[in-house]
Structure 1
């Protein structure tokens, strides 16, 4: 398999528990402190904490009328999309909108909105069910809102591959560019898991950490005392262009999407293949797509959810593929698990690590579990690196796997 052309990342927009905007997010990453905290929205539940976006005022950022119409994750997606386009030095008022595509990944619709409307329905208060109930619950509507806001009239697509959704959207956007279907692709992921029914649902599955007395210590990927993940929220948006087009307009380039790989475990609807065969296929496909070998990768941002089975399976796969043991981080330890947004956010973090040649620390990693093998896990403080290429891995329910190879500018 020969390498396909890389595409340039000319814009980034980030909304996460680590901060709003590129600079705030990078500062949050370097601080190395988990943002998990008790949340009044989850009061009284078995797991009452999460990682929320700090200081997110949708009325101020979007205007009250627009903010009222949108679900929280859609608000975050739109704020991040606007930042990404501005960061790319592009103006939707003057671009050729028919040549601009939007691809957004999300794992599911807003359970917060579902919860409220179904309570009205169950109580036979049909007149209290919102007329926006259906539009606000459709997964494609957020991509549509971004297309409308940015005057992007090319393909407008939504993808849902669980926690790999953001990476899948980035890969699909790259395909659209390379096929000539568009000249600019606004891509990424958005989701908010900050909802009562979501917390209860994952808690009943045994997927969440139960450290209610010490939330900031709860997310601990690859640690021997890990007991599950922490819910998060956010949005990560990329502006992609063909490298030649970016060069022609003298655009500032953050880096490149050099390779994308996807696969299915075909194993179980929620539990990953313990041998990591599907994740290995996605990883090796991304390397082949980039025309690289494992030895070319200088840093890895692991999926690292802090579940016992998931971390062990991923560690086994990474150990087999990357025998030279590049530095590995797991940024869900800092921002929690934003489900469909996580892959896009982590791809952005990986790109920022390449830009700054510095890898964020894995928070709460006190005792490395035996299943981590010989992985070179970044502990205690961020680590300076010399790396031209890095990998971001993302895996989800349904055995959905995605991997991205990113390269420095």
Structure 2
């Protein structure tokens, strides 16, 4: 029996560059930065005082007012992006098909703002004042849970928590669910809302963040010699995935095919990548094998590209290990240069970028690339978007704990 093909038929995003796919994509192509001073809270005493925040989000556009205060922002973001994606796909979820429509949305950190608020209540007002909604608002699986409730999707419903690789694992696992016939449609991706005092100070303490407080918009500079850490972002990226048979039967639009997926583990360190990028390289090679493609078939890589000194050099080494001489013919760019690192949501937004790149034949730039690093010597599409045909795109997501995920997208 032939393996079922899985197609992308809908996209939804909430990002620091815009709260719709169209607004986000135009911002990316124009090379705009979504980074600025933190406004969610007073960060004046923090070593890093800027981030890439979602701006102007109105949750009541996507859910009832009475529900908003009982749903953490990370799940609100997931609901918004999922509803966008389903509308974009023209998908009707009905009692007749609901059991064949599933949800797989992850979050690396979950409801951290709820945790912080309720901890303050506990300290200042005592245990009797804790909200009964505390646990349901905090737990990471609630993005999937709330989306399934909001949409009436009764098929496979689960979640993934693998730090910065979360959304890519979610999309890959959702593809596998469709391939084996357990669902016809999966709503998949990631969501994150961790620009909170403890979220930011935790990464500050780990010395993972850029400290360019005098020039925030130029702080995220993947592969640049002077990179000094990542910029925190937030938002959601959700895809509607369908079996080819289901999509063609209803005449759905198709962005691209999810052609391959693989995941590996570094078994090395809780935050640092394995030297030489061995785990990332294996993930890329295995994803290409899953897609039945050769390295020379790939036109574009949407890099993990965090703007940290270790990641960018290691990822570059991993790409060269897998692609050999072809690495120097690839276009490689980092979405994070404009929207920061969306943590568990990053892979979802970047998967959407790959689909749009294939559709529109435009590769967005890596902005703030000014000073080449000898250890990062590939074509990073510096500073200006490029029109180019892209038939095959690859997306890397590499998470704390040594979690590596790679997705391969192909023109359908």
Structure 2 length as normaliser, TM-score? 0.96
In the TM superposition, 1:7-406 aligns within 5 A as 7-40=6-39, 41-44=41-44, 45-93=46-94, 95-123=96-124, 125-322=126-323, 323-324=325-326, 325=328, 326-373=330-377, 375-406=378-409
Instruction: Measure, in 2, the Cα distance between the counterparts of 1:193 and 1:337.
Output: 11
TM-align CA RMSD: 1.5
Instruction: Measure, in 1, the Cα distance between the counterparts of 2:84 and 2:125.
Output: 42
Q: Is the 8 A contact 2:62 2:83 kept in 1?
A: no
Deviation at residue 362 of structure 1 after TM alignment = 0.6
Q: Is the 8 A contact 1:304 1:330 kept in 2?
A: yes
Instruction: Measure, in 2, the Cα distance between the counterparts of 1:38 and 1:61.
Output: 27
Q: Which has the higher mean CA deviation after the structures are superposed, 387-396 or 61-70?
A: 61-70
Q: Is the 8 A contact 2:14 2:81 kept in 1?
A: yes
- What is the number of equivalent residue pairs in this alignment? 407
Instruction: Measure, in 2, the Cα distance between the counterparts of 1:46 and 1:248.
Output: 54
Deviations 1:209-254 (A, max 9, x none): 0011111111000011100000101111111111122112111111
| 1:265 to 1:42, Cα distance in 2 relative to 1, 3 A | farther
Q: Is the 8 A contact 1:12 1:348 kept in 2?
A: yes
Instruction: Measure, in 2, the Cα distance between the counterparts of 1:95 and 1:43.
Output: 50
Q: Secondary structure at the match of 1:235?
A: strand
Q: Secondary structure at the match of 1:245?
A: helix
Deviations 1:141-197 (A, max 9, x none): 121111111111111101111111101011111111111111111111111121111
Q: Which has the higher mean CA deviation after the structures are superposed, 50-59 or 337-346?
A: 50-59
Unpaired stretches in structure 1, ≥5 consecutive residues: none
| 1:275 to 1:68, Cα distance in 2 relative to 1, 3 A | same
Deviation at residue 89 of structure 1 after TM alignment = 0.9
Q: Is the 8 A contact 1:5 1:258 kept in 2?
A: no
Q: Is the 8 A contact 1:187 1:240 kept in 2?
A: yes
Deviation at residue 4 of structure 1 after TM alignment = 4.8
Instruction: Measure, in 2, the Cα distance between the counterparts of 1:100 and 1:232.
Output: 30
Deviation at residue 129 of structure 1 after TM alignment = 2.1
Structure 1 length as normaliser, TM-score? 0.97
Deviation at residue 95 of structure 1 after TM alignment = 5.0
Deviation at residue 50 of structure 1 after TM alignment = 0.6
Q: Is the 8 A contact 1:42 1:195 kept in 2?
A: no
Q: Is the 8 A contact 2:109 2:194 kept in 1?
A: no
Q: Is the 8 A contact 2:255 2:358 kept in 1?
A: no
Deviations 1:338-375 (A, max 9, x none): 100001111111111111111111111111211113x1
Instruction: Measure, in 2, the Cα distance between the counterparts of 1:119 and 1:148.
Output: 29
| 1:69 to 1:245, Cα distance in 2 relative to 1, 3 A | same
Instruction: Measure, in 2, the Cα distance between the counterparts of 1:192 and 1:284.
Output: 32
Q: Is the 8 A contact 2:16 2:339 kept in 1?
A: yes
Instruction: Measure, in 1, the Cα distance between the counterparts of 2:191 and 2:361.
Output: 26
Instruction: Measure, in 1, the Cα distance between the counterparts of 2:42 and 2:249.
Output: 50
Deviation at residue 130 of structure 1 after TM alignment = 2.0
Q: Is the 8 A contact 2:261 2:286 kept in 1?
A: yes
Deviation at residue 5 of structure 1 after TM alignment = 4.2
Deviation at residue 122 of structure 1 after TM alignment = 2.7
Deviation at residue 124 of structure 1 after TM alignment = 5.2
Deviations 1:89-138 (A, max 9, x none): 11124651111111011112222221121122233522332221111111
Q: Secondary structure at the match of 1:20?
A: coil
Instruction: Measure, in 2, the Cα distance between the counterparts of 1:386 and 1:43.
Output: 43
Q: Is the 8 A contact 2:4 2:180 kept in 1?
A: no
